Homo-oligomer: A and B are copies of this chain.
């Protein structure tokens, strides 16, 4: 990329039409005219390599066209990353560099960057994940907060995810020598200094410029694993490169309607040395998150993620919804054959919510399952993971020796982690708290990990154990939620003729 020619603004601004579309990004002037504007939505496009991170072509184009003849650097960087450009565009499309002399562009409202920065407490005063949440609430942009914190419709699942852990009581043992405690565990054969990993949350750059890279740096320092999201703000190569060589990562996939996109992406993931794949299965349709829908997104938000217009439609402005348009709703158990035809690594099914599906996963030879209602963000009143954990224990206890079980949703304390492990989980997955912590950058993430470790060690000592292998169900009392465990499976009640054939 040596010496592209300078192009003045008055030249650039003329290329502002679908059939003649230039865009400036980081001082480079790109001709995006051929970038698939005519491709039908959801059918893939020839620039599928651009779409590896999860959106279909024509929607991306719609947004790009909005910046035709303009500088889109800031918007692009908010959620995207320059590293994608070489993949997405051939070098021949680079027309030159921005002539920075007389570089005057019209002002744009950037709602995303409306981070108030007021009232952000010093990191040293943050004592818990709750403190991080409070700090994030007051300092993130409205849209970022809405996107991260929102959950489906009436927030029943979201709240239950948290409250159900509070309804499990401990039964500690005393007078054990707990001088030394060890929190190390193995997750899919990978060593972790704590029985938790970072959930594959989307678009971390909304919280901090360093995004998923900042999380990666902190995790590698602290010895825990990050599961990178396909909807990350950075390309997987960039995320991985933020950590020391050979530091292990997990990767989370939504299967693209255009299957070759997914295949190509997983090829890249494999080449980076990643061997554990989390296949998210609980989002065939986007959840209805009204707080997210209600906050109008800035243009820059929709651009890199889904490409759909930010114009409010009848349903709202949901970032999560528009971001998920590429996800294939037809994905089924049968597609595991397809997945394994090109993915040789481990497969974790993320989003199991019933003993029936847990059994099916085991039968299919899946390596692990994440009991999850997607943080309460998809189907409201779907069960908190801890309830599904109890359901498995009651109706299918053998599952725990067949595959590893993880839970996510509502875990905010070291005690929550211990409870999940007492009930059979191998580890837990934590999402939102890491995004909130990231608002302090890499330091925030490290501080959160320190807090969780301290809480976990304290709780282990007070519970009377020194090693996670000593945890068992006799250390907790689930009497307050036991009546919520479905008492029988197979008791299905159908009525005849609910729907006539038409």
Contact = CB atoms under 8 A, between A and B. Distances in A.
Interface of A: 124-125, 127-128, 153-154, 156, 165-166, 168-179, 182, 184-186, 191, 195, 281-288, 290, 293-294, 312-316, 328-333, 335, 349, 351-354, 356-357, 360, 378-383, 387, 393, 397, 400-401, 413, 415, 419, 421, 423-424, 426, 447, 450, 454-455, 457-459, 461-463, 467-469, 471-474, 477, 479-480, 482-487, 489-500, 502
A7 B398 CA distance: 79
B166 A285 contact: no
A487 B498 contact: no
Contacts of A426: 495, 498
Contact of A494 (B353, B450, B455, B472): B472
Contacts of A479: 483-487
In the A-B complex, the 4 residue pairs with the smallest Cβ-Cβ separation, listed nearest first, are A473-B493, A474-B492, A285-B461, A379-B462
Given A171-B353, A179-B329, A480-B484, 20 more contacts: A124-B313, A127-B288, A128-B153, A128-B290, A153-B415, A165-B381, A166-B381, A171-B354, A171-B486, A173-B353, A174-B349, A176-B284, A191-B502, A195-B498, A329-B461, A467-B499, A471-B494, A472-B494, A473-B493, A483-B483
Contacts of A486: 171, 477, 479
A440 to B, nearest CB: 13
Contact of A490 (B179, B461, B474): B474
Contacts of A179: 328-330
Contacts of A423: 493
Contacts of A458: 285-288, 379
20 contacts: A127-B290, A153-B413, A169-B381, A169-B382, A170-B353, A170-B381, A172-B282, A174-B281, A178-B284, A178-B330, A182-B499, A186-B497, A284-B462, A329-B461, A379-B459, A380-B413, A380-B415, A468-B498, A469-B499, A479-B487
A476 to B, nearest CB: 9
Nearest to A128: B290
A288 B458 CA distance: 8
Contact of A499 (B185, B287, B356): B185
Contacts of A191: 500, 502
A173, A378, A482: residue with the most chain B Cβ atoms closer than 10 Å: A173
Contacts of A491: 473-474
